[in-house]
Amino acid sequence: MDQGMRSLDAEDVRPDIAYMLEQAVKAPSGHNAQPWLFRVGDDWVQILPNTSKSLPVVDPDNRELFIGLGCAVENLCVAARARGYDVELDFSKAGEITVGMLRGQVDEESVRQLRWLSERQTNRSVYTGERISPEVLAYLREIPLEKFVGLRLWARDEEAFSQVASCIYEGNERQLGDPLFKRELRTWMRFNKRHERAMSDGLSYAVFGAPNLPRFLSEPVMTGVLRSDWQSQGDRKRLESASHIAIFTLQKEGITEWIGLGRSLQRFLLRVAACGCACSFLNQPCEVSDLASGLADALSLEGESVELILRLGYAKRRMPCSPRVPWREKLVR
């Protein structure tokens, strides 16, 4: 940090910047680990990677960690522009992002995006099977993408959709056959409302559709279904009810590119919410290196790596939102 940049305590943070931070922490992240920290000044915010929240088994290179940081950065920028600030971003080699802010004009597009920021959620339920219209698909495809980021969409009846689905099922076999993967996943599961409130992060029982039961009952039930056959059976229903699959790719990989991918992803997710669509991640093939490279070959993605997979469609209902740690508890000096 520049020695001339004086950081603030929580009580000294201006209300408009506090509001921006409230929006930033609504970003998605792997296992809802929320791997970010904030340092705040009078006219700037730094978003820092919190490697104590890394996922060494499923995300050994911190790829998904930095994608999550990119989502948080985009949320903060949307909120800043909606409040009438121009933003300027600076990236360090370590993945620290400084967002400088100057008073400007309210950006009306950001105001519209902000309306959907709180509506955005990962909806893991079975969808209705309704097709997304060509007009909505065109709107989703038109998002501004950061450098090196690519986006593809395939309908449920296309061959590419089936190829991706097969890789997802294979990813379940690989991951849920790995005791280390399951151990890491269990540490991020929150087994009832009391557990969720105590931690304010992780994978809530509610987002899986599980009831709020005493932990001695819910924990063996929730961990007992961490089997590839159960997971693939559920994923098959989820995929069969989807309209499309979306894949994000990169032509170059590194911290800056992963952050840019996260920013692009968040723009996409906000448009999905704006259209009344639902989405959820099915990133299993992206988290197994040989499956990711094999899928890129099968889809003829020459020179591109498969980074993220989402299914899109229309949900029968909203699901409970995942908990968030308040920004004040993520503030560092």
Kindly report the CATH number assigned to the domain that includes residue 239.
3.40.109.10
Judged by DSSP in three states, 284 sits in: helix
Alpha-carbon distances, residue 133 vs 4, 155, 237, 277, 309 (angstroms) = 52, 11, 21, 11, 20
Mean pLDDT of 171-192: 96
Residue 214 lies in a domain: yes
Judged by DSSP in three states, 278 sits in: strand
Question: 68 — phi, psi (to 5°)?
Answer: -60, -40
Residues 115, 197, single domain; the answer is: no
Q: Please give the structure tokens belonging to residue 92.
A: 């360090």
Residues 165, 35, single domain; the answer is: no
For residue 257, the surrounding DSSP H or E stretch is helix 255-274
Range of the domain at 269: 134-313
pLDDT band at 3 (very low <50, low <70, confident <90, very high): very low
Residues 147, 78, single domain; the answer is: no
Q: Are strands 189-190 and 203-204 parallel, antiparallel or unpaired?
A: parallel
Rounded distance between C-alpha atoms, residue 285 and residue 231, angstroms: 14
Residues 57, 206, single domain; the answer is: no
Residues 153, 224, single domain; the answer is: yes
The predicted pLDDT at position 321 comes to 87
Is residue 259 within 8 A of residue 96, CB to CB? The reply is no
Region for residue 300 given its phi and psi (left: phi exceeds 0; alpha: psi -120 to 50; beta: otherwise): left
Q: Please give the structure tokens belonging to residue 154.
A: 């395939």
How many CB atoms are located within 10 Å of the residue 287 CB? 20
The predicted pLDDT at position 295 comes to 98
Dihedral sign for Cα 175, 178, 184, 185, please.
Answer: positive
The residue from 121, 151, 178 where one domain ends is: 121
Residues 90, 23, single domain; the answer is: yes
> How does pLDDT run across 53-107, given as a tens digit for each residue?
999 999 999 999 999 999 999 999 999 999 999 999 999 999 999 999 999 999 9
Residue type, 134: P
- 318, pLDDT greater than 70: yes
- 269, pLDDT greater than 70: yes
Number of structural domains (the chain) is: 2
pLDDT band at 2 (very low <50, low <70, confident <90, very high): low
The residue from 72, 93, 121 where one domain ends is: 121
Q: In what order do the strands lie in the sheet with 85-91?
A: 36-40, 44-49, 97-103, 85-91
**103, β-bridge pairs:** 85
- Which residue from 88, 73, 84 is spatially nearest to 107, judged by alpha carbons? 84
